[in-house]
Amino acid sequence: MTKITGNGTNRAGGTPLVDGFGRTVSYLRVSVTDRCDFRCTYCMAENMVFLPKKDILSFEELASIIDVFVKRGVTKLRLTGGEPLVRKDIMDLINHTSGHLKNGELKELTLTSNGSQLHRFADQLVAAGMKRINVSLDTLNAEKFARVTRRGRLEQVLEGIEAADRAGLAIKINMVAMRGFNDEEIVDMLHWTHERGFDLTLIEEMPMGEVSGDRRESFLPLREVRDRLAERFTLEKITLNTGGPARYVRVQETGGRVGFITPMSHNFCESCNRVRLTCTGKLFLCLGQENQLDLRTALRAGGTEGVSRELDRAMILKPKGHDFDPTRIAPASVRHMSVTGG
């Protein structure tokens, strides 16, 4: 087991993180590993080369950096990957970080998962204070699921989702909308999620990293999806804000909610409150840009005060937004989503 010292607090400066455009950064997404037990076609290369374990931050280092962010005003923390639950002893980091929930510094601790390991961890996540999770699920067809994940089993994921539901976790299903693959399944997924009391969020595919296939052929603008849904359902605008980029509607016929994340057709940068930390300590200030700082070096050279100073510099460097172009052949970023964190 990994021993994480400290009590979830630190003595770094406590001034809020406000960037050059007046946006307060209150949301940190932490990729705890680039590894995953799936190889989703839009997320990874088929023959993925993962980072050497020696380059990965220890849990104690991750915890120290997280502590600084919380001290500087981050109130929402999401753990991502890769698949966060495949990292050995992940509950040690989660249980340490949950101390910030108990003392009121964090408002929410959550994670995004592919669902494969939820049957093992759901009860532990609830015990640590998690209230809700996101699960990536692009199809309810077992054959197509195996194809898009390259190695996943739909049955295992559905078992994990059921375990999370029984444990009392609120569940949001994330579905990447892909023309010619699952565009005809969106209505079925809407019914399936809403019948179980889950939210559904639809996501436009993003040009991150080299993958097989031409993303231009599979790209599906969500305004087109929303128009099609509006022909069948009554979509009511709501003001729900979960801290992320999704814009939500309520489906009058089901009573459930559908979110739309549109980084390609309509970016959401004007309200960006997020930064992303990789498992190697790189801090990315925008998902679609290469602006980054090395918090691992800052921590090892200057401790938590060194990290806090780098965060001040990060706020100066954070760009106004990304500029994804769905007509481009080359990816907007060479980083795969699994490296940065979904």
Give the 3-state secondary structure percentages of the chain, helix then strand then coil, rounded to 5.
35, 20, 45
Q: How far is it, in rounded angstroms, from Cα 302 to Cα 24?
A: 25
Residue spans per domain, the chain:
27-340
C-alpha span between 134 and 124 (Å, rounded)? 16
285 bridge partner residues: none
Question: How far is it, in rounded angstroms, from Cα 135 to Cα 141?
Answer: 16
Bridge-partner residues for 200, per DSSP?
173, 258
Question: How big is the chain, counted in residues?
Answer: 342
H-helix or E-strand spanning residue 287: none
- Angle at CA of residue 270, ends 269 and 276, nearest 5°: 40
Q: Is 182 helix (H, G, I), strand (E, B) or coil?
A: coil
| Tens-binned pLDDT, residue by residue, of the chain (342 aa) | 456 765 444 444 589 999 999 999 999 999 999 999 999 988 888 888 899 989 999 999 999 999 999 999 999 999 999 999 999 999 999 999 999 999 999 999 999 999 999 999 999 999 999 999 999 999 999 999 999 999 999 999 999 999 999 999 999 999 999 999 999 999 999 999 999 999 999 999 876 545 555 667 889 999 999 999 999 999 999 988 776 788 999 999 999 999 999 876 555 577 789 999 999 999 999 877 778 999 999 999 999 999 999 999 999 999 987 555 555 554 444 545 555 665
Report the C-alpha gap between 287 and 285 in whole angstroms.
7
**Alpha helical stretches, state H, the chain:** 59-71, 90-102, 118-127, 142-149, 154-167, 186-195, 215-218, 222-232, 295-317, 337-340
CATH code, 27-340: 3.20.20.70
Give the Cα separation of 186 and 200 in Å (integer): 10
Model pLDDT, residue 214: 65
Name which of 166, 159, 91 is nearest 129 in CA terms.
91
pLDDT score, position 290: 76
Q: Are strands 76-80 and 27-31 parallel, antiparallel or unpaired?
A: parallel
Ramachandran bin of 188, using left for φ above 0, alpha for ψ from -120 to 50, beta for the remaining angles: alpha
Dihedral sign computed on CA atoms, order 257, 202, 196, 125: negative
Q: Which residues contact 68 (CB under 8 A, 6 or more apart)?
A: 10, 12, 304, 307, 308, 311
pLDDT at 71: 97
